[in-house]
Amino acid sequence: MAPTAVAPPPQPPPAVAPPPPISESPEPGDVCWRGSMVRSNKKRVPVQARFLRGRFQSVFNKGCEQLNISHRSSWEDVGKRHVIGVVCLEATSDNGGVPTAADSKGFFEYIEYFKSKERAGVARIEEGNQYVYIIPPGVELFVQHGPPPRGSADHTLLALVSTDPDGAQPAAAPTGAATAPLANAPSGGANTGGEHGKDQNGTDQEAALRALLQRPEVLNLLSQKDGK
């Protein structure tokens, strides 16, 4: 009688690669934040942010666990905002690993939602009165502030950080305009114009003298001297 074949022992599941660490001083493309994104506290999806440029730490930090998109804004209005930082949002899992099918599906629904509405998502950060504008791929703002540092742009949302929701982009300085204090400028800032400052001082002194001569007590004293 032939010996009974023994089944091989079950193989352990393949090792799951640990999620990339969150960098506190990231280079472009490094993961700088993990959390979740919701729309009016619904439709939660886990996301992670990769640094692109600018300042992001005031929003994407350990104290922020969730971006709550509460309303939308037109591309034109977002284009007027003063953007101080840009990160790329991408799908992930709750443990920071490879996103599940459900995670990826939920993230792509956000992309299609903003495209269909032709609007940017807006998340207000109460601390510091800051705003984050969520931009889907395929629009001019995405091209202007992108591209993402890695992967396909079609799988990414841009998040623009702004600290001045009602202000426009700062105007560019005129060509040749000074961008630093003038050397040897007088303290106090009253006059910084060389010869122009001297003319102004002379004019001020003459005006003060005329005002003094028009005072009643001075006029009375002068008339008494003339009478003598």
DSSP 37: E
Q: Is the pTM of this model over 0.75?
A: no
Indicate whether 103 and 146 sit together in one domain. yes
| Per-residue pLDDT of the chain in tens (228 residues, 90 and over written 9) | 566 666 676 766 555 566 777 877 889 999 999 999 999 999 999 999 999 999 888 788 888 889 999 999 999 999 999 999 999 999 999 988 999 999 999 999 999 999 999 999 999 887 767 899 999 999 999 999 987 776 678 889 999 999 755 555 444 333 333 323 323 333 333 333 333 333 434 444 555 555 555 665 655 555 555 555
Position 208 in a domain: yes
* Number of structural domains the chain divides into: 2
- Whether residue 44 is found in the same domain as residue 152: yes
Q: Is 184 inside a domain boundary?
A: no
Flag whether 176 is in a domain: no
Same domain, 213 and 144: no
Residue 12 lies in a domain: no
Calpha distance 133→148 (Å, rounded): 16
* Residue 222 lies in domain: 197-227
C-beta neighbour count of 153 within 10 angstroms: 16
Distance CA 145, CA 172 (A): 18
| Eight-state DSSP code of residue 148 | -
- C-alpha separations of 173 from 121, 165, 180, 215 in Å: 31, 22, 12, 47
Q: Decide if 5 is inside a domain.
A: no
CATH of the domain at 124: 2.40.290.10
Closest C-alpha among 16, 36, 165, 21 to residue 89: 36
For residue 20, tell me if it sits in a domain: no
> Does residue 1 lie in a domain region?
no
Give the residue among 154, 170, 145 at the shortest CA–CA distance from 54. Answer: 145
Domain match, 142 and 77 both:
yes
The answer to whether residue 69 is domain-embedded is yes
φ, ψ (nearest 5 deg) of residue 218: -70, -40
Q: Which letter does DSSP use for residue 139 in this model?
A: S
